[in-house]
Amino acid sequence: RKEVEQDPGPFNVPEGATVAFNCTYSNSASQSFFWYRQDCRKEPKLLMSVYSSGNEDGRFTAQLNRASQYISLLIRDSKLSDSATYLCVVNMGSTGTASKLTFGTGTRLQVTL
Amino acid sequence: DVKVTQSSRYLVKRTGEKVFLECVQDMDHENMFWYRQDPGLGLRLIYFSYDVKMKEKGDIPEGYSVSREKKERFSLILESASTNQTSMYLCASFTGNYGYTFGSGTRLTVV
């Protein structure tokens, strides 16, 4: 089983739609969680951290379910500019003093007119 | 904002060459990382460093080495480049609650 698993997609949705991505992780001791966005041929960039209580940033809502070991990202009112690959990222704990993040392979979103 | 700079966006090297990929961060962070990214495989950790002269192997260290002589600079070395090392290489600096900041990546082609 992969440490962080995501549906690769692609998710093809029309503008204005609501779309949700899920991600599961294997290590129950994982400490922190993130969603990154990666545009084609560019580096990943932090979209949002994911907190136990859930958090929202504009049209984006992230949720964490520790009992079931999954993280979700909801995008409301999709825009063409949301088209990208969304990476689920988990900090599975420290090794020495370095915090090592483990990345899912990403879910590709294509928003169309 | 943290800035992570990778010295080259695109590189073409010949098989057997020794290749140096340079990464510099400007925020005095202790933790730095090198990943490679390949289609369908996602980001895979090659090496990381949590202090000057300190390094640890990641998940795929074979064929690579690293150097961290100064805190701001973390170099990835391909001792003898091979075609299966053709990839996108990403350097990152750990920013705590904000996860990683990545450099813009180096797309290496080994011919």
Mean pLDDT of A50-69: 92
Q: Is A103 on the interface with B (CB under 8 A)?
A: yes
User: Is a pLDDT exceeding 70 seen at residue A47?
Assistant: yes
What percent of chain A is predicted at pLDDT more than 90? 75
β-pairing, B100-102 vs B87-94, is antiparallel
Q: How far is A64 from chain B (nearest CA, A)?
A: 16
Supply B43's token pair: 């980001």
CA distance A33 to A2: 16
Contact B49, B31 (CB under 8 A): yes
User: What's the whole-number average pLDDT of chain A?
Assistant: 91
Q: Where are the beta strands (DSSP E) in B14-53?
A: 19-21, 23-25, 32-38, 42-51
CB of A32 less than 8 A from some CB of B: yes
Give the mean model confidence (pLDDT) for residues A83-105.
81
Q: What is the per-residue pLDDT for A94?
A: 58
User: By the CB < 8 Å criterion, does A87 face chain B?
Assistant: yes
In Å, how far from its chain's centre is CA A75? 11
Q: Could you read off the pLDDT of B23-49 as tens digits, one per residue?
A: 999 988 889 999 999 988 889 999 999
- pLDDT, one tens digit per residue, over B56-103 is 999 999 999 999 999 999 999 999 999 999 999 999 998 776 788 999
Residues 6+ apart with CB under 8 A from A22: A6, A7, A70, A71, A72
How distant is the Cα of B72 from the closest Cα of chain A, in angstroms? 15
- Tell me the two tokens of residue B110: 């080994």
- Alpha-carbon distance B32 to nearest alpha carbon in chain A (angstroms): 8
Cβ contact (<8 Å) for B99 and A42? no
